[in-house]
Structure 1
Amino acid sequence: MNKVFKDVSLSACVAGFVAVLIGFASSVAIVFQAAQSAGASNDIIVSWIMALGLGMGASCFLLSLWYKAPVITAWSTPGAALLVTSLGGISYPEAIGVFVFAGGLALLTGISGLFDKLMSIVPLPIACAMLAGVLFKFGLSIFDSMFSHTFLVSCMLISYLLSKRFTPRYAVLFVLATGVAFVLASTNMDFSELPIEVGHFIWVWPEWDISALIGVGIPLYIVTMTSQNVPGIAVMRSSGYDTPASPLISWTATASIVLAPLGGFAFNLAAITAAICSGKECHEDPKKRYIAGLSAGVFYLLAGLAGTTVVALFSFFPTAMIASLAGIALLGTIGANLKNAMMDDDIREPALVTFLVTVSGVAFADIASAFWGILFGLVYLFVLKRKA
């Protein structure tokens, strides 16, 4: 632990906080909708938030500490979106059964070593191109948000430019402080009505329905693996971390199985928030960026315990501020991945195809574009090699 305390830095702790802030604020509304689609009461929805915070917090902290790398986990946002439209006609205990089943499939994928073997097939430029495509829309969101909140986003951008010039390690901190200060100064927020309360867990035993397991459980597994875990590993690889993928998949899947009865519907490796914690803005020394994972774990645990309060607090800040903060924090990562994707002349065109397919957002068979981007890029590369 002495080494951990020596490695602690303000920039890494801020990166972890920003990751949690963006992770919650960007998609917690979808989780609410998914819980309501499952027939959850308000008390059970609070249990969902607490279980998700506990699962992400514990997995972030312990995995980052064990592997000494910024291992950032998250709930499956695409999975939650899938559940919103797929749980109609399924009882709440049957929905819990679906969550356990999907987690079991992910666990089998992890312990079999299959995921590591699949990822070893993907060249680094292809993986970087896919990741750049996933992150690209966040960079665009800066200027989309500027159209509706010109002064707010402009101030955040100016803050970023000045801090990058003089104190680059704390650039994201200054951007966050600028955004919060602007919102506080320009609105009349009444924090007296902010609920300060800690919820409680509600355990529901799973029930099993074959049609639900096949019709919802398998798509939930596929969506989580292709749109979350694949980009998550790509983030780590592009940042130079060779942490074995299969154990990470196994542990997040175990968390899904254990916490599903409390509302932890699906845990996986993060991509967007992981990129924030694994870049140079977090820390110049890659060996000390794991502190961001520890920091994110602590903040996730706190957010989970105070789920009701945290959700209400996030509602005070405009979507444009959160979107711009995410985009600005990811600028360096987007640039680095575009550079890595296009460096190799022999793989440049397959990487470009991967990038374009991923950016397009196509979702054949309801499978995310990140998967199709990699598939198209690999096929393109295979054909070129055969031709050669």
Structure 2
Amino acid sequence: MAGEEGGRPSHQGGLNVETARRQIIEPGPGIASGLRDLPGNLNLKTGSAGLVAAIFGCSGPALIVIGAADAGNLTDGQTVAWLLAIYGLGGLISFVLALHYKMPVTGAYSIPGAALIAGSLATFPFSEAVGAFIMAGVIVLFLGVTGLIGKVMRWLPMPIVMAMIAGALIRFGIGAVTAVSALPIVVGASVVAFFVSMRFVKAVPPVLSALVVGLIAAALTGSFGTSEAGISFVLPELTVPTFTLDAFFAIAVPLAILVVGAENAQATGVLLAEKYAPPVNAMTVISGVGGILAGFLGGHNANIAGPMTAICSSDQAGEKREGRYAATVVNGVLFAGFGIFAGVVVPLILMLPAPLIGAIAGLAMINVLIMAFQAAFTKADGYQIGAFVALVVSMSNITILGISAPFWALLFGAIVSMLVEKPVEIGRRSPAAG
């Protein structure tokens, strides 16, 4: 549960903020409390938001992982083990954090990390890549246990963080528009259903209306595809890791930076925009543990999901902020199930029209984007130039040294603010870590 005091995030259940700062792992209401209140928060809105987030995470991103596996000439068993690691552990992360903190902190894996690995597997044997996955998890775990990541997030000005979020997520809004031209009838019907439902059908979440109408339109127009995943139901095949210095610098370090500087930073910013007080250290620690465990199973990292946290924490998951964690629990169940039955489910999920999935994800992000832009460019908060730099760098989707745009957006935005804006204001404490 997250309260709101004067428009600022507050800890759940009136927890002492100073105590939270001194602890490596931020305190929360506890899993027992989350389970006790879960039935009362499971409803059509939380369920539909969790479903949409799961469909988003189990469709296009799964194809990226499968493509990376193909690039590395992995066996079907190794590919299924990879999917089991990242989806099974991603779902487990959702259970643990959502129930313990009663916040929609949603687990998944690094999608840019999968793309990075696809290129690396042309150079490195998969056993060395697996060793690098484990080392990346150790790096992330170190950042969380030492509290370094929490200190960085407290130091960063929030307008710069919010601008990074707006730039990183704006592609989903743009994708909803471009999807109309790719599949006019299906996506058009879905978009119309979303806004009509928002205006006239208060009992049904607009995103659920959009999904149902879109699926009906796809069925009527014959827009469902045929799966090309090519994975049969086989047992997972584990790979013995090999640890090398080359793989450490080429895979482990960039992957760790992606997890912390892109995925976790996005999720933190989204939760702040929704007036939660995200447990930054705990999110980093569990992402490190998830990375290590996923590595031993043959997967590249299980961590906090940026876009899916945005969907589960938005008002599409219900008006009551304190109940939206139920959407993450629903998503976690579906994610874990997808990992366990990956060989059967992947071909079915990939039959859904990609433009429809993109459009629904974009529609679910509308209010998140509005709040991010408002928080980034509120004149009273300052940092306008730094926030603008963070926005355009994040929107550019550039990759430098194998590290994706969100990390550079935060870095360049902070540097520009220190150079041209009031130095006394830079470093004003953010509420990110309580």
TM-score by length of 1: 0.94
- Segments of 5+ residues of structure 1 without an aligned counterpart are none
Secondary structure of 1:208's counterpart equals coil
Residues 349 and 192 from structure 1, CA distance in 2 versus in 1: closer, same or farther, beyond 3 angstroms?
Answer: closer
Q: Match of 2:322?
A: 287
8 Å CA contact 2:76, 2:231 repeated in 1? no
Q: Match of 2:61?
A: 27
Q: Write the distance in 2 (CA, Å) between the matches of 1:102 and 1:190.
A: 36
Q: What amino acid does structure 1 have at the position aligned with 2:311?
A: I
Q: Write the distance in 1 (CA, Å) between the matches of 2:172 and 2:327.
A: 21
Residues 95 and 190 from structure 1, CA distance in 2 versus in 1: closer, same or farther, beyond 3 angstroms?
Answer: closer
Q: Match for 1:117 among 147, 151, 154?
A: 151
8 Å CA contact 1:78, 1:224 repeated in 2? no
Q: Match of 1:362?
A: 398
Q: What amino acid does structure 2 have at the position aligned with 1:49?
A: L
8 Å CA contact 2:227, 2:350 repeated in 1? no
Q: Match of 2:411?
A: 375
Q: Write the distance in 2 (CA, Å) between the matches of 1:76 and 1:258.
A: 15
Q: How does 1:1-388 map onto structure 2 within 5 Å?
A: 1-168=35-202, 170-187=205-222, 199-345=234-380, 346-382=382-418, 383-386=420-423
Secondary structure of 2:421's counterpart equals helix
C-alpha distance after superposition, 1:318-374 (max 9, x if no partner): 211111111111111111211111123423332222212211223333322212222
Q: Write the distance in 2 (CA, Å) between the matches of 1:196 and 1:10.
A: 33
Q: What amino acid does structure 2 have at the position aligned with 1:14?
A: S
Secondary structure of 2:193's counterpart equals helix
Q: Write the distance in 1 (CA, Å) between the matches of 2:301 and 2:42.
A: 30
Q: What amino acid does structure 1 have at the position aligned with 2:387?
A: A
Q: Write the distance in 2 (CA, Å) between the matches of 1:84 and 1:117.
A: 33
Query: Is the deviation greater in 261-270 or in 170-179?
Result: 261-270
Secondary structure of 1:240's counterpart equals coil
8 Å CA contact 1:12, 1:291 repeated in 2? yes
Q: Write the distance in 1 (CA, Å) between the matches of 2:76 and 2:110.
A: 21
Shift of 1:47: 1.6
Q: What amino acid does structure 2 have at the position aligned with 1:325?
A: I
Q: Write the distance in 2 (CA, Å) between the matches of 1:161 and 1:44.
A: 43
Q: Write the distance in 1 (CA, Å) between the matches of 2:228 and 2:133.
A: 35
- Segments of 5+ residues of structure 2 without an aligned counterpart are 1-34, 426-434
Q: Write the distance in 1 (CA, Å) between the matches of 2:133 and 2:379.
A: 41
Q: Match of 2:26?
A: none
- Identity score, percent: 28
Shift of 1:94: 1.7
Shift of 1:192: 12
Residues 159 and 90 from structure 1, CA distance in 2 versus in 1: closer, same or farther, beyond 3 angstroms?
Answer: same
Secondary structure of 1:281's counterpart equals helix
Q: Write the distance in 2 (CA, Å) between the matches of 1:100 and 1:265.
A: 8
Secondary structure of 2:303's counterpart equals strand
Shift of 1:107: 0.7
Q: Write the distance in 2 (CA, Å) between the matches of 1:365 and 1:192.
A: 34
Q: Write the distance in 2 (CA, Å) between the matches of 1:37 and 1:136.
A: 30
| Number of aligned positions between the proteins | 388
8 Å CA contact 1:194, 1:313 repeated in 2? no
C-alpha distance after superposition, 1:243-289 (max 9, x if no partner): 32111111121122123122221122111111111011111111001
Q: What amino acid does structure 2 have at the position aligned with 1:22?
A: F
Shift of 1:88: 2.3
Shift of 1:40: 1.6
User: What is the aligned-residue RMSD (CA, Å)?
Assistant: 2.3
Shift of 1:197: 7.4
Residues 194 and 213 from structure 1, CA distance in 2 versus in 1: closer, same or farther, beyond 3 angstroms?
Answer: closer
Secondary structure of 1:231's counterpart equals helix
Q: Write the distance in 2 (CA, Å) between the matches of 1:149 and 1:189.
A: 11
C-alpha distance after superposition, 1:161-210 (max 9, x if no partner): 11111235610100110111111111186999999975433222211222
Secondary structure of 1:266's counterpart equals coil
Q: Write the distance in 2 (CA, Å) between the matches of 1:212 and 1:352.
A: 35
Q: Write the distance in 2 (CA, Å) between the matches of 1:171 and 1:74.
A: 24
Query: Is the deviation greater in 368-377 or in 326-335?
Result: 368-377
Secondary structure of 1:316's counterpart equals coil
Q: Write the distance in 2 (CA, Å) between the matches of 1:14 and 1:159.
A: 15
Shift of 1:102: 0.8
Greater per-residue helix proportion? 1
